[in-house]
């Protein structure tokens, strides 16, 4: 599997997270300056140089659970808090949206355009903050440098790695259902019309040649789809028309973010398996988290700025209800493992995790020998 | 039919981390082996899956940290089993009539990018000694003659897209590409004789029904097509016609 996948996965999921948070901040009428602060803090943490350095190192993808921990950390990088149910919903929406984008990319290389679309919009969120803008542009340049020269074969491997990461994820998203890009069984609809990928000919022609390479016969046939020529290629520069719409912000104030959790238990068989079987990669995942989160510089909230809670649902009652009725298999309960064996790593991770400020619930046990993951459970 | 499961009871176990697993029945003169290729290496089992007869760990020596290491592309040729690798090298294993005494007899150099697929057929006669085609991520095809030492006969260059799937039939090479095209080449000369704009997305797989000369192409555009392959009675140039 490709060792270059993580930056693309992380940045695109992060982009989707910001789109959703931005929409919810506006829907919940959070004052403009507070909303801007939250987005600025999160974006600035995401594009922190040390963190990006760790992210861009060649490495394998880790599990959805491990990745979710990073986003939970990110979402709490500012004065905003999310309850468990809202965080669950946020992660579900992020992952389904990016899965959709990857699936529908006409060429494997177009996942880079999707990433650029996310970054372009992120730059829009922070256009008044030149320092953060610079961080984002730095990452942009790194992406162009690393991915700009990759071959089609390497992008195909990246695509496969991403799709395997998203395999068996079939959460229904009401916006996708309404737009008929997702079926009721959670599967996405693959369109058979529209422009062909850049570099692909319109299907429907057979050409036959002689030994000298001269065309001697041709047959046309009906293909079954309804394709047109690609108008132009999207730009892979720092600025430019990406042409592709995948990865642009599909949320607006009028399109609420909802997920359907009921009736999807049939698709959860593999999720159940994942949470019951002991995870042999657990130790490596902890190391990965320690490295990545160690690179995250979370600014301690200074000054009198009071925190607030963001709700991904339309009411507190709905949020509570969602937490209660969430199918067992989908709850992101972490597995208990003996992380204490790797004492040094455990301590470092414990220190990082300790930076989580939980003012509501006092932590009951603070002995170092405790399961690290039990601490994560308390978030 | 074999369905590849991610959990196997044998050591080295095929575990959850073995994503991108390829499986192929290799029909040899005196036995059938089930061959699995993944990022760990190559496993060969007796055809009923009861015993693992051979395990080859991949040598990642030359790989840079950023390169993915894996085996991909499996085919049987006579009493050899050929498996492609991430480096472009093709491993040739000599298989005895029975038992586990399998030997890596040769490593073929011809490709610089990861192998995607290998196709074989018995040699067609004196005029066409080609019996194996290997394809890679750059779209390059290499045409070989098998033997105690394999000989590279022709190279058919790519054009910037991977060739995920290749078939060989009666001296005709059928290649499916990442841009949705299917090409038919004459194996002896390497000349392109048929170019089909078959699909709107990358081709996932080709399959061939040898008795009737029908080629099937499946692609990420959700379509499956069937083509009739033939030779022109006058010129004996390769031709293709759409059936489905």
| Cβ neighbours of A196 in B, within 8 Å | 180, 200
Helices (H), chain A: 5-27, 32-46, 49-55, 64-75, 84-104, 110-125, 130-147, 152-165, 174-178, 269-276, 282-294, 316-325, 343-353, 372-377
CB contact under 8 A, B242 and A221: yes
Helices (H), chain B: none
* Contact present, B77 and B90 (Cβ < 8 Å): no
Residue B212 lies inside a defined structural domain of this protein: no
Residue B107 lies inside a defined structural domain of this protein: yes
Residue B124 lies inside a defined structural domain of this protein: yes
Chain B, residues 80-119, CB within 8 A of chain A, namely 113-114, 116
Torsion sign (Cα): A118, A121, A125, A130 = positive
Which residue's structure tokens are 């498996």?
A: B83
Strand partners, B217: B206, B225
Long-range contacts of B58-67 (CB under 8 A, 24+ apart): B58/B85, B58/B86, B62/B87, B63/B87, B65/A3, B65/A58, B66/A3, B66/A4, B66/A58, B67/A3
| Whole-number pLDDT of residue B124 | 80
* Contact present, B48 and B40 (Cβ < 8 Å): no
| Whole-number pLDDT of residue A263 | 38
CB contact under 8 A, B65 and A197: no
Closest CA to B72 of B7, B21, B25: B21
Domain count, chain B: 1
**pTM of the model as a whole:** 0.84
pLDDT tens for each residue of A292-347: 777 676 665 555 567 888 888 878 888 888 888 776 555 554 433 333 344 445 55
Residue B217 lies inside a defined structural domain of this protein: no
| Whole-number pLDDT of residue A280 | 56
Instruction: Compute the distance between CA of residue A317 and CA of residue A313 in angstroms, rounded to an integer.
Output: 9
Is residue A324 helix, strand or coil?
helix
Closest CA to A142 of A223, A264, A52: A52
Closest CA to B160 of B191, B181, B189: B181
Closest CA to A175 of A250, A249, A245, A115: A250
CB contact under 8 A, A204 and B222: no
Residue B19 corresponds to which tokens in the numbers above? 């994503």
Nearest CA of chain A to the CA of B137: how many Å? 5
pLDDT in tens, chain B (244 residues): 555 543 333 333 333 445 678 899 999 999 999 999 988 899 999 988 889 999 999 887 778 888 888 999 999 999 999 999 999 999 999 999 989 999 999 999 999 999 999 999 988 877 788 999 999 999 999 999 999 999 999 999 999 999 999 999 999 999 999 999 999 999 999 999 999 999 999 999 999 999 999 999 999 999 999 999 999 998 889 999 999 8
Q: How many helices (H) and strands (E) does chain B have?
A: 0, 20
What are the 10-residue block averages of pLDDT along chain A, 379 residues in total?
93 96 90 92 92 90 86 90 92 95 95 96 92 94 94 93 93 90 93 93 95 94 91 93 92 63 40 45 72 68 70 83 71 42 52 47 40 47
Cα B157 to Cα B140, B143, B175: the distances in Å are 5, 11, 12
CATH code of the domain covering residue B173 = 2.130.10.10
Strand partners, A260: A172
Phi, psi at residue A35, to the nearest 5°?
A: -60, -45
Strand partners, B91: B83, B107
Chain B, residues 22-81, CB within 8 A of chain A, namely 39, 65-68, 70
Residue B175 lies inside a defined structural domain of this protein: yes
| Whole-number pLDDT of residue A340 | 38
Closest CA to A112 of A71, A50, A158: A158
| Whole-number pLDDT of residue B24 | 93
Cis peptide before A311 (omega within 30 of 0): no
Instruction: Compute the distance between CA of residue B184 and CA of residue B193 in angstroms, rounded to an integer.
Output: 6
Nearest CA of chain B to the CA of A51: how many Å? 19
Range of the domain at B184: 22-58+68-202
Residue B223 lies inside a defined structural domain of this protein: no
| Whole-number pLDDT of residue A298 | 65
Residue B214 lies inside a defined structural domain of this protein: no
Residue B110 lies inside a defined structural domain of this protein: yes
Helices (H), B59-112: none
Is residue A173 helix, strand or coil?
strand
* Contact present, B105 and B94 (Cβ < 8 Å): yes
A278 CB within 8 Å of a chain B CB: no
Cα A325 to Cα A168, A262, A331, B64, B115: the distances in Å are 21, 8, 10, 48, 48
Smallest CA–CA distance from A230 into chain B, residue:
B200
């Amino acid at each position: 599997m490709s060792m270059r996948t993580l930056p693309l996965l992380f940045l695109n999921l992060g982009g989707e997270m910001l789109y959703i948070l931005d929409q919810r901040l506006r829907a919940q009428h959070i004052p403009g300056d507070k909303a801007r602060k939250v987005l600025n803090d999160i974006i600035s943490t995401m594009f922190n140089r040390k963190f990006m350095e760790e992210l861009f190192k060649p490495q394998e993808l880790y599990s959805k659970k491990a990745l979710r921990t990073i986003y939970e950390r990110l979402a709490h990088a500012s004065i905003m808090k999310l309850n468990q149910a809202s965080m669950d919903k946020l992660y579900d929406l992020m992952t389904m949206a990016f899965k959709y984008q990857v699936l529908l990319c006409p060429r494997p290389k177009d996942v880079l355009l999707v990433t650029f679309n996310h970054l372009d919009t992120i730059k829009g969120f922070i256009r008044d903050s030149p320092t953060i803008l610079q961080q984002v542009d730095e990452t942009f340049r790194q992406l162009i440098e690393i991915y700009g020269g990759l071959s089609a074969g390497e992008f195909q491997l990246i695509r496969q790695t991403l799709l395997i990461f998203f395999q068996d994820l079939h959460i229904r998203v009401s916006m996708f259902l309404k737009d008929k890009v997702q079926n009721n069984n959670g599967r996405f609809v693959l369109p058979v019309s529209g422009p062909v990928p850049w570099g692909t000919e319109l299907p429907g022609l057979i050409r036959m040649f002689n030994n000298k390479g001269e065309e001697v016969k041709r047959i046309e046939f009906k293909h079954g789809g309804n394709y047109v020529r690609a108008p132009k290629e999207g730009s892979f520069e720092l600025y430019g028309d990406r042409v592709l719409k995948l990865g642009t912000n599909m949320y607006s104030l009028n399109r609420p973010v909802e997920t359907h959790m009921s009736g999807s238990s049939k698709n959860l068989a593999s999720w159940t398996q994942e949470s019951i079987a002991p995870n042999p990669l657990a130790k490596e995942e902890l190391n990965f988290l320690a490295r990545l989160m160690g690179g995250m510089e979370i600014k301690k909230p200074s000054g009198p700025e009071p925190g607030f809670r963001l709700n991904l649902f339309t009411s507190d009652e709905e949020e509570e209800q969602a937490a209660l009725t969430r199918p067992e298999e989908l709850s992101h309960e972490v597995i208990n493992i003996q992380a204490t064996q790797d004492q040094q790593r455990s301590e470092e991770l414990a220190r990082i995790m300790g930076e989580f400020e939980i003012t509501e619930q006092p932590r009951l046990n603070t002995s170092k020998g405790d399961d690290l993951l039990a601490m994560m459970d308390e978030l | 039919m074999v369905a590849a499961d991610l959990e196997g009871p044998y050591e080295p176990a095929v575990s959850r981390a073995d994503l991108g697993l390829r499986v192929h029945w290799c029909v040899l003169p005196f036995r059938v082996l089930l061959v699995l290729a993944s990022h760990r290496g190559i496993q060969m089992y007796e055809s009923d899956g009861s015993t693992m007869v051979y395990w080859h760990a991949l040598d990642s020596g030359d790989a840079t940290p950023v390169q993915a290491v894996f085996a991909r592309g499996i085919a049987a040729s006579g009493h050899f089993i050929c498996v492609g690798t991430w480096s472009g090298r093709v491993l040739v294993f000599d298989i005895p009539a029975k038992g586990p005494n399998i030997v890596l007899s040769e490593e073929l150099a011809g490709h610089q990018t990861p192998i995607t697929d290998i196709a074989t057929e018995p040699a067609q006669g004196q005029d066409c000694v080609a019996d194996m085609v290997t394809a890679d991520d750059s779209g390059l095809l290499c045409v070989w003659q098998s033997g105690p030492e394999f000989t590279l006969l022709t190279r058919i260059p790519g054009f910037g897209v991977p060739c995920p799937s290749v078939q060989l039939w009666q001296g005709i090479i059928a290649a499916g590409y990442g841009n949705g095209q299917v090409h038919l080449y004459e194996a002896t000369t390497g000349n392109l004789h048929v170019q089909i704009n078959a699909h709107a997305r990358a081709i996932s797989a080709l399959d061939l029904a040898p008795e009737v000369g029908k080629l099937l192409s499946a692609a990420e555009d959700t379509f499956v097509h069937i083509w009739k392959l033939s030779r022109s009675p006058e010129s004996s140039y390769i031709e293709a016609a759409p059936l489905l």
